[in-house]
Structure 1
């Protein structure tokens, strides 16, 4: 019998339940939706988490699609799932937890006696550290972004090679291999020896079917490659970036992009123009380095200094 919160499944079974992480202001219990898919055969454990940021819905879409497709009778090992990690932020469709104004993915490994986010991080980190592999599903919030997988442990970490292998197996086509901020699950779990990746499944407001499909396919790529399911997956070579060049608006106005997401750019290429409401060009911004047009804001209006776009740099093939 394998349990996560109130979900409990014998070999060859699947169950859903709740993982208690505290109480609301009226004293009601807060429980994260969790699932246990316990394979009929012995094997490793995969932990999958979504909804760390309350307005990032693509990962939740992935969970809602891949869990019903998993047949415990055909599974070797166990899949543990937290379907919505940032409970409070999800309820109000916000990025940060409104109870403590924290970003959950800066709170790991958490604190059982800490703030709301720290308690959620502690409970989900306990679940993650029971696993042999961890996938923490994200998206580019409300920005436009290519589908990518992030390796956040840093290139000198003892688990870097294993994390990078997991990212390649997930097979989005693009990898960002850059050490992440303190408190990320994808940084904290490798410190416990567990290969972990942070797929950023596009960016949109709402529910993006193409990015969700990338995520579902990625989960099954991992399940097959690592022996949870029969079959094999041989990933294609991935385009890897090691850093970002970020660009802000030198003037207020409307952004007119000169390149598309995923397009290669060379140093000196035009990235975007700023125009006034009458189409008069106020500024034109060019690329500082060779790279790939990785991410951009969704809406065109900007104030001086406001974020506009990012170019992935130091590109190679892995």
Structure 2
């Protein structure tokens, strides 16, 4: 029998339940929605979680699409799912956990006696630490971003090749292969010997159907490639960026982009212009290096020094 919180499933069964991670301010228990799909045949274990940032909802959209399609009778091994990880932030549609003002994906592997975020990280990592593979579903917050997968363990990590293979199998077409900050699940997993990736499924307010489709396809690519489900997966070449150039605005005003998401840019190409409210040009910002136009802010208004966009650099294919 496989158990995750109150969800328990024998081989050939599926169950949902709650994983208790603390209490609210009135003493009500906080339980994350969880699911277990236990295949009739022995096999690997896949752990999937979504919404560790409370306003990143595309991963939740992926969960609600792929879980109903899993039939334990067709599955080898088991799939464990935490559908909403950052409970408190999700309730108020915010990025960070409002209880401790913490970004959940900086709290792994967690602490059972720590802050709210550290306790949630500990509970979810405990559910993942004996898995064979981990998918931590994200998106580029509410900004605009291409669909990509992040490998965050660092290129010299002992698990790097396994994580990179998992990213290629997931198959969004773009990969950011750059060591991430301390406390990310995509770093804690490889440190524990588990190939882990961080699919960043676009960026939007609410749900983006195209990005959700990328995510669902990616999960099923993983399930088939690693033998959970029957079927072949032909991996395709991915465009990989190893670094990011971030651009802020040198002035305040209104931004007009000259590059589109996913477009190749060359050093010296115009990325964006800033005008005043009457259309008078105040600044033109160009690319410092060749790369891929990766991410941009959603709103046009900016203050001096405010973030505007990112270009993925040091690009190759694998």
Say whether residues 1:299 and 2:296 are aligned partners. no
Task: Say what the alpha-carbon RMSD is for the aligned residues.
Answer: 0.4
Which residue is 1:220 aligned to?
A: 220
Q: 1:154-182: CA deviations, max 9, x gaps?
A: 00000000000000000000000000000
SS in 1 for 2:42: strand
Q: Distance in 1 between matches of 2:20 and 2:213?
A: 30
Q: 1:226-262: CA deviations, max 9, x gaps?
A: 0000001111100000010000000011000001000
Which residue is 2:208 aligned to?
A: 208
Alignment of structure 1 residues 89-238 onto 2, 5 Å:
89-238=89-238
Q: Distance in 2 between matches of 1:286 and 1:24?
A: 48
Q: 1:195-236: CA deviations, max 9, x gaps?
A: 000000000011111000100000000000000000011111
CA deviation after TM superposition for structure 1 residue 74, in Å: 0.1
Q: Distance in 2 between matches of 1:116 and 1:267?
A: 44
Q: 1:75-130: CA deviations, max 9, x gaps?
A: 00000000000000000000000001111100000000001000000000001112
Q: Distance in 2 between matches of 1:116 and 1:266?
A: 45
Q: Distance in 2 between matches of 1:46 and 1:234?
A: 20
Say whether residues 1:45 and 2:45 are aligned partners. yes
Q: Distance in 1 between matches of 2:264 and 2:280?
A: 27
CA deviation after TM superposition for structure 1 residue 316, in Å: 0.2
Q: Distance in 2 between matches of 1:88 and 1:191?
A: 27
Which residue is 2:78 aligned to?
A: 78
Q: Distance in 2 between matches of 1:51 and 1:294?
A: 21
Q: Distance in 2 between matches of 1:171 and 1:260?
A: 21
Which residue is 1:59 aligned to?
A: 59
Which residue is 1:245 aligned to?
A: 245
Q: 1:246-283: CA deviations, max 9, x gaps?
A: 00000011000001000000000010000111111100
CA deviation after TM superposition for structure 1 residue 36, in Å: 0.2
Which residue is 1:14 aligned to?
A: 14
SS in 2 for 1:315: strand
CA deviation after TM superposition for structure 1 residue 290, in Å: 0.1
CA deviation after TM superposition for structure 1 residue 292, in Å: 0.2
Q: Distance in 2 between matches of 1:122 and 1:58?
A: 23
Give the unaligned 5+ runs of structure 1: none
SS in 2 for 1:164: helix
Q: How many residues align?
A: 318
SS in 2 for 1:35: strand
Give the unaligned 5+ runs of structure 2: none
Q: 1:27-76: CA deviations, max 9, x gaps?
A: 11101000000001000000000010000000000000000001110000
Q: Distance in 2 between matches of 1:107 and 1:270?
A: 38
TM-score by length of 1: 1.00
